[in-house]
Chain A
């Protein structure tokens, strides 16, 4: 089975990278990162209140915005994954080859996971790179930079050393936020796969997946108590808290209960989405 799945994964990736979609989606993601990072150049306000700005603040904000887009893309990509095969009729070509439906499904899941992981890593690297490029990568210490190890500088002037917000603490916050946000991204992809397994029509699959995704985002942000149990909400928690802490809002603490929920909700949701999608896909007759 691993060999067949590997062949299918290569098959899927070869198809994917010959389409426009993965390239088009990079524009809004990079644009979101660039807007947030470039906004950091506007330091007029920060001059009077240097506590307002540091590199981790921008890093958490840019990652949060970009990863929101990645999660939407994961829903779109995954909702196309199975439905497009049904819509084109290409299942008839693939499933008459010596591969099982389980192989096909596992490869689709892996491809969604690979793409989400790749975009996740790319987002972080681009955010980090752009931040340093614009604010001090080339002249470390002269521009606002998270590399100044606890000394927060603006326009080349050292303005403050904050013992509560050392580079090590903020870096740890940032990495924790990254860890917490990966599972919700995967769960978004698996949600798209579930929708994709139900519909033979790509328009219906993408439309409905987007509709639900937008609804769930809205629900999670408005109905905060119940919304914490929606998998997409978990994406927000890590970067929101890390961002608050980077801004010096010391009352924002990591809550163990919230962190646990941030792991458990997308994990269980993702598993449920995958299980349901698998059963639907394996049991269905290929009639298109």
Chain B
């Protein structure tokens, strides 16, 4: 990763009357990132994306893309961006191909091979001639991704790209994103509330909550910084409690002979040795691993401590 910031929002704010949809949001997407924008429904993800592509005007703050203010350089910026905002909408009386051809034409593109390639990339080559009216939501979603790819953009913004897709479709899109990122160096900003998908797809994430970035950073670093909880099943219980105390490890929960300990995989060897030394019989020892989902839930349940980065 080169580390060059190609998309940045500074204090981005949008008020709809008394409602603060986005409230001073600062995010940074670096060249080569697959950046996941995570948040609950209504957290402000789509409003943020709409402000980035200037579908709506920020109440305050600004968006910088490729070092330029999007407000004053919208055309040059949008020449380098492909975007799909929310559920893609097309002209239902036109075929998928014709929709793409017309939209591509607006960017000055005429290359029919590129249209064909985009349809093939999203697995719609055989249905391109059908009217969009007859497309399923998953097919529309694929067509939406295809239109975002048309101009070979440097940055692709996808808002909930796997909405309405079946498991195979989700897998295909994930692979497509990773392939374009790896082979062509395309940077992605992907918003979603499918945490598992984001964890598998993205290298960096930002968690949006109540219109603000609660935390952003490398997925690996964020998860390793989280408190892990390992699971141990052992008897006798009292001897085990003393062994844990001797190691200074806190018991999160105990039910029967099952303990959940606040420690990561790196301490489990010590735990095993201490338990054996205390005469305990160990039936199970499972290293703790925090998933993005658990991390996300923990972050969004915290009282608001303001945005910070890992």
Residue positions of A touching B, CB distance < 8 A: 3-4, 7-8, 10-11, 14-15, 18-19, 88-100, 285-287
> Can you offer 20 A-B residue contacts whose CB atoms are under 8 A?
A11-B102, A14-B102, A18-B94, A18-B98, A89-B86, A89-B87, A93-B103, A93-B147, A94-B103, A95-B53, A95-B55, A96-B55, A96-B81, A96-B82, A96-B83, A96-B85, A97-B103, A97-B107, A98-B78, A98-B106
The answer to the question of B185 belonging to the interface, with a C-beta cut-off of 8 Å to chain A, is no
Interface string of B88-115 (1 = CB under 8 A from A): 1111111000100011011110000000
Task: Chain A residues near B88: list those with CB within 8 A.
Answer: 92-93
A18, B98: Cα distance in complex, Å: 10
Cβ 8 A contact of B102, one of A15, A89, A98: A15
Chain B nearest CB, measured from A271 CB (Å): 26
Number of B residues near A (Cβ < 8 Å) is 33
Chain B nearest CB, measured from A219 CB (Å): 36
The answer to the question of B297 belonging to the interface, with a C-beta cut-off of 8 Å to chain A, is no
Chain B nearest CB, measured from A202 CB (Å): 13
Task: Chain B residues near A92: list those with CB within 8 A.
Answer: 55, 85-86, 88-89
A52, B153: Cα distance in complex, Å: 70
Residue from B82, B98, B106 having most chain A Cβ neighbours under 10 A: B106
How many A-B residue pairs have C-beta atoms within 8 angstroms? Tell me.
Answer: 78
Instruction: Return the 6 tightest CB-CB contacts between A and B, nearest first.
Output: A89-B89, A285-B56, A286-B55, A97-B106, A96-B83, A98-B78
Asked if B106 and A11 make an inter-chain contact with CB atoms under 8 angstroms apart, the answer reads yes
Main secondary structure of the interface of B (DSSP, over half): loop
Task: Chain A residues near B82: list those with CB within 8 A.
Answer: 96
Interface string of B204-238 (1 = CB under 8 A from A): 00000000000000000000000000000000000
Task: Chain A residues near B74: list those with CB within 8 A.
Answer: 98, 100
A175, B75: Cα distance in complex, Å: 45
Task: Chain A residues near B57: list those with CB within 8 A.
Answer: 285
Besides the contacts A285-B50, A285-B57, what 9 more A-B pairs have beta carbons closer than 8 Å?
A3-B108, A7-B108, A11-B102, A15-B91, A90-B89, A90-B91, A92-B88, A93-B103, A286-B56
The answer to the question of B136 belonging to the interface, with a C-beta cut-off of 8 Å to chain A, is no
Residue from A4, A15, A96, A99 having most chain B Cβ neighbours under 10 A: A96
Q: Which residue of A lies closest to B102 (CB)?
A: A11
Asked if A19 and B103 make an inter-chain contact with CB atoms under 8 angstroms apart, the answer reads no
A14, B94: Cα distance in complex, Å: 10
Task: Chain A residues near B85: list those with CB within 8 A.
Answer: 92, 96
Task: Chain B residues near A96: list those with CB within 8 A.
Answer: 53, 55, 78, 81-83, 85
Asked if B90 and A93 make an inter-chain contact with CB atoms under 8 angstroms apart, the answer reads yes
The answer to the question of B79 belonging to the interface, with a C-beta cut-off of 8 Å to chain A, is yes
Question: Which residues of chain B from 55 to 84 have a CB within 8 Å of any chain A CB?
Answer: 55-57, 74-76, 78-79, 81-83
Q: Which residue of B lies closest to A20 (CB)?
A: B93
A179, B130: Cα distance in complex, Å: 44
Cβ 8 A contact of A7, one of B83, B86, B89, B106: B106
Asked if A15 and B78 make an inter-chain contact with CB atoms under 8 angstroms apart, the answer reads no
Task: Chain B residues near A95: list those with CB within 8 A.
Answer: 53-55
Residue from A19, A91, A92 having most chain B Cβ neighbours under 10 A: A92
Chain B nearest CB, measured from A88 CB (Å): 5
Task: Chain A residues near B93: list those with CB within 8 A.
Answer: 18-19
